[in-house]
A and B are shown apart, each in its own frame.
Chain A
């Protein structure tokens, strides 16, 4: 009787736990969504940064023209005159996702603009990602860990930085796809069901559609399979989880135009094929072992090994011959960069020039994953007791992602979910142990809670919730009324009470130590929450096209970028070409709707180098380069007046490097004085005469009379000069964007004279420019 009541009670407890978990998950979703809205509240509902503008433009095209035109879209407004085949060079996952959301909403008669949908795609998908994390962690370590991990992921700053509202980038949906693919893999591994294997392949397809980071999946899963085989954990479930994924996944990946045959041709995917073969061999061996007697198996092994050795030797000999005959010894730059991940950043300046490709600094770890960094080791330990296939996968995931994030800041994003999962496990295990030991030592309290729990059998969910709350208040665990923390607590209390009934034997810690530890953990959690909210509100919400600065006389808003793009949109011909450094290419096409020479999709190094060369050349040579590209306008970003540090002068050395990489007459040392990059009077003549310097500092002396550059904190070297081949047509309010027009070739060719002739011409030219010049201070 007691036993049946007990089981009945536990059943109801489980049901109740399920409902509670569901509500908690909903709340986590809401949290994940709403913490990312700071950017909309503090600024406005706009698309952020650079790449999202391109995605937004593509989405607009998709919603306007449909999927087939999108697939075949040849864009003649970028990369002039080469053009770009958008359909074949873009990861379509994000665009298709937002496009279908927009389409569904519109067919439901909810008329949202495409922009709104794009802005809110990332927060929606971060909620999805939190739920996927829950599922994944639940597969690994149970519901409690799952909920904790989901809550952590919902506000991990690293992920927030890429998924605030308006940050409409591939990563926003890709992280969800990544976690979900891992979840389905683990699920398949745990159940051995072909159904999940199919879903897994489809989730992988979605990931391939979304982000180039899919190669991480297709390398991590084979590594895990290999690890399982080597450690003797092979099972037929492993086979079912892996083999169909490789076949279906490869086929599906090859369907994505941007991947295409790369799915079978490039070295990133070879690992999976190799492991595919290995797992077949292993499966065969296990099968034969199963149907043969041990003695015969031994015979078979010796036979196969002896034959296999001969075959292997032959194959290796052939391979060596092949490799030796090829001139590069089989090592391409790509495989080199695979072995030495810093290869690309060291030898390919265009990759190195992007700040998010730099290796991260230690503070950025703390900034991006905060206290999780300390909880991860504990989580790893927790994963080892007991080690299952799933937990070994998580451990492998964290180890590899730590390695990759050490190479590139950008890959910190991949690390974040792993860190959340492991920290979730660690926290949940810690709470588990601690509360259990408290309960064990306070029988009264345990009874109390049991009575409370007993009430739930007859009372409604609400009273149950109250009971749990009172229970917690008695525990005096609540230091901070954070909703999320409370939820976590609740969950643990629930779980503990269940578990305490099942098994009473446990590792007992002293009561005081337990309470103190719980207190500390909660404090840690609280600290994490505070940090995350701060990061979401302050650090990662700026849309970077609108800048703000606080000074003693209040808040300043710099909206120069949009001002400049609007000027271009309204004052230039539709087919005019605008040259700028590639950072601003996407924005120019999306916001100004003008043709650009290079943009953020850096697929053609030579073309970018051409623009870099033009920027680093003297005026006349630059004019010739730009004219040969039919450029009408040149746009430079200049922060010297307001102190905006990421302007073109600060990026200029990269232009020199990239330009010099293709056109050897541009040499970096010419721009450096004793290895130092400077623009003051010590700067080299090459520097002072290059186009970028001239376009940035033209008439700068007129602002304050001294030409003091606030970014470089120096007075510039050459203050008074004229432009002969360019004319200034527009400068924004804060001088952050300056637009120049190429002068047409001279109508007449003057005789060059040594005499006073230049006087006459200079008066005419000043008269002409006086007419067109616009004083930005007006």
Chain B
């Protein structure tokens, strides 16, 4: 039999992520933090501490430090990047827009925060990731209904929002009770862009404008179309967090209490810490990261994987799916994983049964069509890394000796053929002896 190669492709899963996300040593992860100002290190220390307590090694650099570089000898030095430098016009060293995008495109994670009067460079990074900040550099998100009640009467630019994305995967199981304080620039996302998610949206009454000047034109961004914090999961599962406010990461807003205007409940502590910590867990793949292993398929009752199926064979298919919990791989439990037996269109679509321990399995009959099929698992759920498995397998028609033999309906024909042969012998004998 000729060599029929079966191949397995795990599209954009472990190979690309192996740089940033190594299951072997997941706790030892290096993150470069680029700051505008050294003082940020202390003013935002709570956020950094929470990262360090989870095992990340942070390396702080000034954004215009001439010695920074993301990679050396073609190897990336860092697994993640935090850009807390909204005003930087040009990074030091070899880092530029293209370098950062390549960093993301090779599967690394990015947290970036813009702020009022964000530089063009920061805006461009955001644009490349599918997020567009308000064009007016001085614009802020203003909300006259849901602002934070504070001691000094302000211009309502410190707003509160509790319009979180509804996803336990991204924000964790624990509900965020307190609203989040935000002061900064708003951005918009393209609803057609499936990769960008609005993690925190503004209230319907919000708008984006320069608080110092009179509002002459209708603001370009209004209402809940304004996104305050967005997350992006690229096709290679690199994750990006884009925030319009640097101050929301600060110790001050982490600590401060919050009371929404017009609301009597006063929370002792804002939701910022919980929100941003959970979000950073998601961004750094401590949650919502799936892997599929041990894809196997075989004829029912056999152990080995065949190189080729025959039409109408009965086969079994199984795959194991695990989720990374931050420390270990846990079985992933869901009822909606489906497998397709696919050749230009799915011929078989089956929901996989699970044993609750990560193993998903099913059995079905190969359709009566030959061709090169694929086992396809396309699993895309909000917040989870996309799982896209395909495994090619040819399906051949019957061999010449696999068709049904000795069909009952055909017995008269067999009979007649053999009677002809017998008749031939008898005739030969009679004819020869007749002479």
Contacts and interface: CB of A to CB of B under 8 A. Distances in A.
Contacts of B373: 81
A629 B371 CA distance: 13
B101 A61 contact: no
Interface string A741-778: 00011111111110001001101100100000000000
A748 B396 contact: no
Contact of A74 (B101, B238, B374, B396): B396
Given A61-B2, A74-B394, A764-B101, A83 B127 contact: no
A574 B5 contact: yes
B127 A750 contact: yes
A574 B6 CA distance: 10
B394 A76 contact: yes
A19 interface: no
A575 B307 CA distance: 14
B236 to A, nearest CB: 5
Interface residues of B, number: 42
A767 B98 contact: yes
Contacts of B396: 72, 74, 83, 85
A747 B104 contact: yes
B372 A82 contact: yes
Given A72-B400, A82-B372, A750 B130 contact: yes
Given A72-B400, A749-B195, A757-B127, A575 B7 contact: yes
Interface residues of A, number: 36
A628 interface: yes
B365 interface: no
B225 interface: no
Interface string B388-422: 00001011110110000000000000000000000
Contacts of A61: 2
Nearest to A759: B124
A85 B397 contact: yes
A745 to B, nearest CB: 6
Given A574-B5, A575-B392, A760-B124, A748 B343 contact: no
A65 B399 CA distance: 15
Nearest to B343: A81
Interface string B369-396: 0111110000000000000000010111
A230 to B, nearest CB: 33
A83 B372 contact: yes
A519 interface: no
A745 B193 CA distance: 13
B1 A763 contact: no
A76 B238 CA distance: 35
A64 B400 CA distance: 19
Q: Which of B4, B232, B399 has the most CB of A within 10 A?
A: B399
Nearest to B372: A81
B132 A753 contact: yes
Contacts of A68: 400
B319 interface: no
A81 B129 CA distance: 35
Nearest to A73: B2
Contacts of A746: 235
B51 interface: no
A391 B285 CA distance: 88
Contacts of A761: 128
Contacts of A74: 308, 370, 394, 396-397
B344 interface: yes
Contact of A748 (B2, B105, B395): B105
A125 interface: no
A73 B4 CA distance: 12
Interface in B103-154: 104-105, 124, 127-132
A447 interface: no
B325 interface: no
A65 B370 contact: no
A107 B194 CA distance: 65
Q: Is the interface of A mostly helix, strand, loop or mixed?
A: loop
A574 B5 CA distance: 8
A256 to B, nearest CB: 13
Given A85-B370, A757-B127, A751 B190 contact: yes
A629 B345 CA distance: 11
Given A747-B238, A761-B128, A81 B97 contact: no
Q: Which of A749, A757, A764 has the most CB of B within 10 A?
A: A749
Contacts, number: 98
A194 to B, nearest CB: 14
A419 to B, nearest CB: 41
B128 A71 contact: no
B234 interface: yes
A747 B371 contact: no
Nearest to A755: B135
A65 B2 contact: yes
A503 to B, nearest CB: 44
A252 to B, nearest CB: 16
A455 interface: no
B384 to A, nearest CB: 18
Interface in A33-88: 61, 64-65, 68-69, 71-74, 76, 80-83, 85, 87
Nearest to B135: A755
Contacts of B130: 748-751
B370 A757 contact: no
Contact of A751 (B131, B234, B235, B374): B131
B164 to A, nearest CB: 23
Contacts of B129: 748, 750
Given A748-B130, A749-B193, A757-B127, A72 B399 contact: yes
A741 to B, nearest CB: 16
A88 B305 CA distance: 27
B378 to A, nearest CB: 14
A71 B4 CA distance: 17
A64 B394 CA distance: 21
Contacts of B394: 74, 76, 83
B104 A748 contact: yes
Contacts of A760: 97-98, 124, 128
B371 A82 contact: yes
Nearest to B121: A760
A193 to B, nearest CB: 19
B102 to A, nearest CB: 8
A64 B124 CA distance: 60
A64 B399 CA distance: 18
Given A74-B394, A76-B394, A85-B397, A747 B235 contact: yes
A559 B232 CA distance: 49
Contacts of B232: 748
A747 B131 contact: no
Contact of B128 (A73, A574, A748): A748
A764 B2 contact: no
A756 to B, nearest CB: 9
Contacts of A747: 104-105, 234-236, 238
Interface in B239-297: none
Contacts of B124: 757, 760
Nearest to A761: B128
Contacts of B235: 744-748
A73 B308 CA distance: 12
A71 B196 CA distance: 54
Given A71-B400, A76-B4, A83-B396, 8 more contacts: A72-B400, A74-B396, A628-B344, A748-B101, A748-B232, A749-B195, A750-B127, A760-B128
Interface of A: 61, 64-65, 68-69, 71-74, 76, 80-83, 85, 87, 574-575, 628-629, 744-753, 757, 760-761, 763-764, 767
Sort A-B residue pairs by CB-CB distance and give the 4 closest, nearest first. Answer: A74-B396, A76-B394, A81-B372, A72-B399
29 contacts: A65-B1, A74-B370, A74-B394, A80-B372, A81-B372, A82-B372, A83-B372, A85-B396, A574-B5, A629-B344, A744-B235, A747-B104, A747-B105, A747-B235, A747-B238, A748-B105, A748-B129, A748-B130, A748-B234, A749-B130, A749-B194, A749-B196, A750-B128, A751-B127, A751-B130, A751-B132, A757-B127, A760-B124, A764-B97
